[in-house]
Chains A and B, each alone.
Chain A
Amino acid sequence: MPRSLPGRPRGSWIGRLLSTRRRHPLAAIAVLVALMFTCGGAYAALAPSTSQNVQAASSTQIDEGRQLFAVGCASCHGLNGEGQINDDGEVLGPSLIGVGAASVDFQVGTGRMPLAAPSAQAERKPPAYDQDQIDALAAFVASLAPGPDIPDAEYLDTSAGDVARGGELFRTNCSQCHNTTGQGGALTNGQFAPALTGVEPRHIYEAMLTGPQAMPVFTDETITPEEKRDIIAFLESVQDEPDPGGLGIGRAGPVAEGLWAWLVGIGLLIGMATWIVTRSSKA
């Protein structure tokens, strides 16, 4: 049974959808979906098969991708994505044979690639390419060898997701690194699990599917596409949910709470105490 939160501000995520994906080949469909949403929801009419047709890459797209790749990626990953190792045996860029379009869409779409500078971990930043270019790059890399494809829109439609089951799956499989509210957390030696707030559903899906950087892979066989959709629905629900108790203070738990109790609680009360022990102004 699909569950969704009543009173969840739908407008905001539709807004995000529109602003960040308007150049995507699916943009027209997305706008249509959005319209159907706002008009009161005949979204069941969405045919999943349409999206697959759109994803079938044309050869011109692959060619465009090859050119972009040669300029922006080949210095580390090699002209044909075979990867490069320098003379010291250090991996400049891993092989991209078989990583699939999903991996490219995630890495480039979240701005992690191209790398700004070598570091413990690539960080999320504004993407260097527009969506058409990312699609071309993805098409090129996908043409090298079969690999995980960009997810179907069907599995990104979080309104069909089961938030409660998504929560259970998230707490079992994801919260150990990303925290129960998706705030992220520390890993070993300066690596970290990033916060999941504000990440596009598609990118979350692609991350589970491809296991970027230190993150392990959660294949579609062990966590099915429907379950991945549930997880994303849960994350959206948590993210959109207001904090009923007031300021969320990062939803980070006891350390932040302890700091507030000391700095604000005790601080304010000591301030009051200094006022109490004085007498009113002298004549």
Chain B
Amino acid sequence: MSTIVNGAGKVVDFVDQRITASNWLKRNIRKVFPDHWSFLLGEIALFSFILILLSGVFLTFWFKPSMAHIAYEGAYVPMRGVGMSEAYASTLELSFEVRGGLLMRQVHHWGALVFLAAMSAHMLRIFFTGAFRKPREINWLIGVTLLVLGVAAGFTGYSLPDDLLSGTGLRIIEGGMLAIPIVGTYLSSFLFGGEYPGDDIVARLYPLHILLIPGLIIALVTAHLMILWYQKHTHWGGPGKTNHNVAGAPFFPIYVAKAGGFQFIVMGVIVLLAATIQINPVWLWGPYDPSVVSAGTQPDWYVGFLDGALRVMPPWEFYIFDRPITMSVLIPAVILPGLILTPLALYPWLEQKATGDTREHHVLDRPRNVPVRTGIGVAFIVFYILLWIAGGNDFFATILEIPVNWITWSIRIGIFALPPLAFWLTKRICLGLERRDRDKVMHGRETGIVMVSPDGEFSELHAPLSQADAYQLTWHERQLPSDPGPATDANGIPNPNYRAKRVQAKLSRFYFGDVVQKPTREEVEAAHHNGHHDAVEAGHRDEITSGQQ
């Protein structure tokens, strides 16, 4: 007997009678999604990707992926009679002869920049909150792959219009390929169909850009979301929010309305960017000519760090059996991406190795509570931003009116000096914040009211925290460095795993040795028992005496 249905229920009924949809829907339609702004960064990436797909399809209706040489006779007068490829000419056609064509080009390009920026921001969020920990290592790997694919999609697209900027970018790619020992010249020859630039490359990048890479991205995004769905989203700790539950709004209708709305908001913001800010005006750059270059030649932001690395390398080349090994190109173009991506992809396992923690984690870390990880992340950001600045060193030299050579030299030095400094500083700040949290829990919050005791001593009045507020600062785990245990057991037999354990303990100490622990229950009770006024005074005196020593 079927239930009485109408409206949307009819659809559910139809589907249910064929694939038992209700069974699955019943379990999922009210699935819980926790709310936090940082959980929406991945959504920005997804939604901008959808907009990129839509605008990209529009562009393919006019774009001609051909490098056939023609003399331009289109609508843009300042280029009439100039020799160029059909790809470039069709990009001009899109910009000047198709209503909304320029808008869609700009939507596509702004969308791509926002897509990659959102993916990067999303990844940083995952990193700093520890959301990559078990059981989410697979999604972390998929995410790293998606980022690489996103860069590939961006770069292939950047190269298609065959304008002066994109052609120069390809030339640099060719130069990087040539530096690869043994196979370099062959790789370049196969990619370009002979000598650089040939007349094949646009037609070859086109299917990669519109078919293969987006296809892979869609497949991996699907997997990414299915895993996310199955594992349930992480959430922040807090009153009632534990590792064994997830609290938030139901998928239908709240999340559907909010995420669906956000889809339109993301599209709206990108379209508004495209309406008001010009991006990649290829008609100003001119058609690609390998004998021509423009001052201020730079790649899009997501390739900027690689270009920056190329810029700051000192000239370093040596010979092996009379064959050149051009380290000044190999390191930034080939080795550096591997050096960045490998630890990035393996980070969940590296940290697991150090902490020895193999439990499931569904509650996020506050970045301050894992000072070493946060420090590593900030050091990486500093490293990356330095390379990114190097990639625009001429741009920054021009706007800051300082010699470009200075910027190059500062970055050559800074790339080694600043990331460790950033690590140290970040860790200190995290420890300071932890200490403040601890003080708050033990002594309450500072009220700003200063009291004078009868014997003339000044102290600040502290107000105790509510239980919820105090819990908010203490729900995280107590993280202690692991102990390798004795080298020999009670019977004097050496522990065969002792060496490994000691290494692990060392790493664990690196991670957690300096962590300012939240107070124990006894400590909190003792502090409260003494009364916060006394406690502050005591702490105050301690500081004075230690200061005198």
Contact = CB atoms under 8 A, between A and B. Distances in A.
Q: Do chains A and B touch in the complex (CB under 8 A)?
A: yes
B162 interface: no
A238 to B, nearest CB: 7
Tell me what chain A mostly uses at the interface: helix, strand, loop, or mixed.
Answer: helix
A120 B405 CA distance: 14
Contact of B82 (A168, A237, A246, A270): A168
A273 B41 contact: yes
A126 interface: no
Nearest to B304: A258
B292 A249 contact: no
Contacts of B392: 255
B164 A265 contact: no
B281 A245 contact: yes
Given A164-B78, A180-B286, A243-B278, A175 B404 contact: no
Given A238-B78, A258-B301, A269 B114 contact: yes
B78 A163 contact: yes
A176 B293 contact: yes
Contact of A252 (B38, B266, B395): B395
B295 A176 contact: yes
Nearest to B38: A273
B482 to A, nearest CB: 37
A127 to B, nearest CB: 22
Interface in A154-180: 163-165, 167-168, 171-172, 175-180
A253 B292 contact: no
Contacts of B121: 266, 270
B547 to A, nearest CB: 42
Q: Which of A177, A188, A192 has the most CB of B within 10 A?
A: A192
Contacts of A243: 278, 281
Given A179-B296, A241-B78, A269-B118, A188 B404 contact: yes
B278 A249 contact: yes
Given A176-B295, A238-B78, A258-B113, A245 B106 contact: yes
A186 B398 contact: yes
A216 to B, nearest CB: 15
Interface in B39-81: 39-41, 43-44, 77-81
Interface in B245-303: 258, 261-262, 265-266, 269-270, 273-281, 284-286, 289, 291-302
Given A5-B78, A237-B78, A269-B44, A252 B275 contact: no
Contacts of B321: none
B469 interface: no
A277 interface: yes
Contact of A262 (B117, B298, B299): B117
A269 B45 CA distance: 11
A254 B301 contact: yes
Interface in B20-37: 35-37
Contacts of B402: 190
Contacts of A93: none
B95 interface: yes
Tell me what chain B mostly uses at the interface: helix, strand, loop, or mixed.
Answer: helix
Contact of A257 (B96, B279, B289): B279
A265 B114 contact: yes
Interface string A207-248: 000000000000000000000000000100110010111111
Contact of A171 (B266, B269, B286): B286
Interface string B482-493: 000000000000
A191 to B, nearest CB: 8
A180 B294 contact: yes
Nearest to B393: A186
A39 to B, nearest CB: 24
Contact of B293 (A5, A175, A190, A265): A175
Q: Which of A237, A246, A251 has the most CB of B within 10 A?
A: A246
B40 A276 contact: yes
B394 interface: yes
Interface residues of A, number: 62
Contact of B289 (A171, A185, A253): A171
Contacts of A183: 295-296
B102 interface: yes
A76 interface: no
A215 to B, nearest CB: 13
Contacts of A251: 278, 281, 284
Interface string A257-273: 11111101110111011
Contacts of A6: 77
Nearest to B169: A254
A181 interface: yes
A254 B297 CA distance: 8
Nearest to B40: A273
Contacts of A265: 110, 113-114, 117, 269-270, 273
A10 interface: no
B165 interface: yes
B187 interface: no
A255 B82 contact: no
Given A179-B296, A254-B299, A245 B102 contact: yes
Contacts of A234: 78
A176 B296 CA distance: 9
B79 A164 contact: yes
Contacts of B284: 180-181, 238, 251
B420 to A, nearest CB: 25
Contacts of B292: 171-172, 175-176
A3 interface: yes
A6 B302 CA distance: 38
Contacts of B299: 254
A244 B78 contact: no
Given A6-B77, A180-B286, A257-B301, A273 B262 contact: yes
Given A172-B292, A266-B118, A164 B398 contact: no
A185 B117 CA distance: 27
A176 B276 contact: no
A255 B304 CA distance: 8
A76 to B, nearest CB: 24
A190 B114 contact: no
A93 to B, nearest CB: 24
Contacts of B398: 184-186, 192
A193 interface: yes
B114 A244 contact: no
B418 interface: no
A132 to B, nearest CB: 33
> Which 4 residue pairs of A and B lie closest in terms of their CB atoms, listed nearest first?
A258-B301, A185-B295, A245-B278, A261-B113
25 contacts: A3-B78, A164-B78, A175-B293, A175-B295, A176-B293, A180-B294, A185-B296, A186-B393, A190-B403, A190-B405, A241-B78, A244-B96, A244-B102, A245-B106, A245-B277, A246-B278, A247-B277, A248-B281, A255-B298, A255-B392, A258-B301, A258-B304, A265-B114, A266-B117, A277-B258
Given A5-B77, A260-B277, 4 more contacts: A244-B95, A255-B395, A272-B265, A277-B35
